[in-house]
Structure 1
């Protein structure tokens, strides 16, 4: 970097001395004025400037309004990281409607559920992706979907769905169905239709569905202002330089790609380099070709990048920064990343969709030990933060059973409070009331806030169970068994038991050559754990048999069902 971290942060603070709440589209218009001819979206096939994205978003918004889209409605997006995603996202904001970027790996039943639960009135969809045929799915979910203004009924698919617009990314479309070019042409016939659509910074701009790792996906409603504050906090904490370029393949239906990539670069007139899928070599090629300065990844991606020798064939000299999140990673990985890829600013973070995205980050100037042992401290957000503070959010811990606040430094359920917290879960008032209490968001994550403000994550409160009347923390058992050479993956869960009320079960994926038995596992736990923590049952599974969400997270509640069924089968 040509300037220091401190000077880069100071430049951002000076640019935003007072926070001005804006809608997403209004912020795009500000950026188009400031950075009009700068690249905003860069791919191998096309580059879009800030001005071009703004202009395209207006045409598309005018087309959507002509179809009847407006405030209070919800527009779904089944879109991978194609450049078209960006103007579409801002176009929906211009109409005053709520954008719902759906997980495009959903299967038919999952897609049908979220389309109905979200009360989506308009869907913009790819024709297909990664072997999935969305047009065929829609034939089953919403027969007659290609007819504009279709009248849904309770017995005929999602009853609110009126329009489906196809992005023919694989060359396929349908007769009668409108495509993106048709939507833009409709906008040209109705210029200015979206210009006066009422919407405000504190209105709901996005609804993002949780992964469903602990139950059915929930639609998290967040405001325009909330995601922009979170994005500014990222730019400030990570000390973005003018014109930063961030490459990522993480999907924009998730806060990671959307906020940490797309929205955050706007604060320095930077660009995103989105990719539709990950491979280490694709990342290297993109860095070299487009001179990326920053990448977003998760630990498995980082491991793939350091383990391949393909990097030796690429010029990665532009790369100086990486944000790696979603799971902890060992310090050796970051030391290797720094040494082999020449990256000097390595950070990790923590957050959840309900918070408005990542709320904590390690700082680029932090020692790598903090990147491996913590998930960072609250983002600094300057004028965008909690009133009277420089931080984006406040954290505290509470007793996971009673909800009572715990003394500073004690382990408990992490709760947070700040200006980016969700409005609530769509259509789920009872679950909203459980998550939001007295202005605090209850995360379901267990951890502690250290004296230096950094957070340590220790597990999930929903995964705690009682054995012999004592509370058991699954992560302690998982960490013990995961350290064995013959264990590839392990998950500790609680199962209902007629005698004990609840008993522990270790679900284990052994390594390929392992000869592990239930007796081995229980004996090993007895050597290292208090008696009440020792699992009474062990279930061995292949990795392919683990129940997962579309994004690959293991669903522990389904593991409980699986293990319960397996146990009952042995009792017959």
Structure 2
């Protein structure tokens, strides 16, 4: 195998440390400006719509920041983003950071109700949006829910919302737009706003489904995000000018932190795709000299399958990082054979911990990478003074999932984590935060597993019912509520079942109301109108209530329902 040498890893990490010098807590915008000063003319974001250098992103973000301030956005205000992986995504992100506002990145696969709910939860003052996605016509949603929104929003549904700004001109007459807000630049105004932003201020609110299945907004500070990003660059041994390609959405911490922010510390560039296509991925590696790709396993499968169908120049590719779901030995073997990288990584983390807190190490064997989810992330200078041992950015242990007492090293239980990347609060959810985060900063992950004697994390399951479809987290309760709202449905139960391509897919077991005859296709069509595509069950079984496996207390045993499907039983 074409593996990287330990001396080359050391050289790259030493170069990152020399460039950084020491860890100085900064805001996102201030950290980006340091990189701009070092290499203003290097490309930072490369898409099919064009290329922007560090200096261009900085200048355009300052112009937009001027417009946001003049619009009335102030430090601490929430600015929601409903945007795909566009060329100007980093511009909008850094503009919000410069003002000291809090970015609230939303999933662009959301339907109307989901968008309104997240805006309510976050208390968003401004929404910056594209016109539509493959799932939703956003302008139609705005028309229906916010009336004459082009001249300002006054809504009982989202009382905090004042303005909707469109990412491009020409989509709607009279609407505010990012280009329109970016016409003027007031350096003094922007500098004063940026200098007032502290490293420990909240930079982002990112929504996740917590262990209760209720969508939670985790608060992530500027310093949390930057330490995580630098640690990833250090741990994964970025070389100078490192280029990262991905189709992972930038509203996810995976693409945002592991790609967009981590690249900054190596003076590198990101090559984001709006829509995943394995052929396009390979062509972009060849065209732009991409050094690392970020995948979930479903993407990895598609790319290695495509790689053998044509002749691609992948000589620039040095690293493949595939995470968010398990990848078997055979897949990693295909990666090494068909893509020929020097390094492979898998990792573990969640929204609340600012992306990855654990990663495998360069040079780890395929067998190890397939059986663990990593060891706590190395931090280099970002780990200094954090109180976390051994130069790491996170510390893991296990607790009894029922009474919370700490278990001995190596014993299976619920994984808990602490470190400088870990959130301290969920918005409007003080009770949830108190239940999930103890007084010493240990966060309950909701995952079951253990830490072995070498410090590697092993997963054995989830303590709750959440499941992941291609890396996207699904809360069964939300899906069940949509299904039971359909006329003729008495009860609905949703769980994840194993799937080779997606890791897991949703399956629904539905009990019809008395005398009702359910049309399964119509019911799934109903679900598609109310849920993001990854949340819609891929299959459905209509059952009699008497067939449901119950506990003695009357609770449905979902694991038995899953076993029916796995074993091919008809019910």
Q: What RMSD over aligned residues (CA atoms) do the two structures have, in Å?
A: 2.9
Are 1:151 and 2:163 matched, yes or no?
Answer: no
Find the counterpart in structure 1 of residue 190 from structure 2: 194
Q: CA deviation at 1:570?
A: 5.5
| TM-score, normalised with respect to structure 1 | 0.81
Alignment of 1:38-437 (within 5 A): 38-148=42-152, 150-152=153-155, 154=156, 157-168=157-168, 172-185=170-183, 187-188=184-185, 190-197=186-193, 198-211=196-209, 215-308=213-306, 312-385=310-383, 386-387=386-387, 389-437=390-438
Contact 1:223 1:423 (8 Å CA) reproduced: no
Aligned length: 493
Contact 2:296 2:323 (8 Å CA) reproduced: yes
Q: CA deviation at 1:196?
A: 1.2
Q: List, as ranges, runs of 4+ consecutive aligned residues in structure 1 with deviation greater than 4 Å.
A: 211-214, 504-511, 544-549
Contact 2:211 2:464 (8 Å CA) reproduced: no
Q: CA deviation at 1:269?
A: 0.3
Summarize deviations over 1:327-374 as a string: whole Å, max 9, x none: 011011111111111112110000011112110000121111111000
Could you tell me how far apart the structure 1 residues matched to 2:332 and 2:367 are?
Answer: 9
Contact 1:281 1:311 (8 Å CA) reproduced: no
Q: Which of residues 443, 446, 449 is equivalent to 2:445?
A: 443
Could you tell me how far apart the structure 2 residues matched to 1:367 and 1:147 are?
Answer: 58
Find the counterpart in structure 2 of residue 34 from structure 1: 38
Taking a change above 3 Å as real, the CA distance of residues 211 and 254 of structure 1, as seen in their structure-2 partners, is farther
Q: CA deviation at 1:568?
A: 2.1
Q: CA deviation at 1:383?
A: 2.1
Q: CA deviation at 1:7?
A: 1.5
Could you tell me how far apart the structure 2 residues matched to 1:508 and 1:261 are?
Answer: 30
Local SS of the residue matching 2:68: helix
Q: CA deviation at 1:320?
A: 1.2
Taking a change above 3 Å as real, the CA distance of residues 224 and 506 of structure 1, as seen in their structure-2 partners, is closer
Summarize deviations over 1:51-106 as a string: whole Å, max 9, x none: 11111110000100000001121000011110100111000001111001110100
Summarize deviations over 1:120-142 as a string: whole Å, max 9, x none: 00010001122521111111222
Taking a change above 3 Å as real, the CA distance of residues 505 and 279 of structure 1, as seen in their structure-2 partners, is closer
Local SS of the residue matching 1:261: helix
Contact 2:33 2:58 (8 Å CA) reproduced: yes
Find the counterpart in structure 2 of residue 471 from structure 1: none
Could you tell me how far apart the structure 2 residues matched to 1:65 and 1:567 are?
Answer: 59
Contact 2:111 2:135 (8 Å CA) reproduced: no
Summarize deviations over 1:191-221 as a string: whole Å, max 9, x none: 5333212220000000111157852321110
Taking a change above 3 Å as real, the CA distance of residues 323 and 353 of structure 1, as seen in their structure-2 partners, is same
Could you tell me how far apart the structure 1 residues matched to 2:268 and 2:534 are?
Answer: 30
Could you tell me how far apart the structure 2 residues matched to 1:144 and 1:53 are?
Answer: 32
| TM-score, normalised with respect to structure 2 | 0.81
Contact 1:230 1:358 (8 Å CA) reproduced: yes
Alignment of 1:514-529 (within 5 A): none
Q: Which of residues 451, 454, 457 is equivalent to 1:452?
A: 454
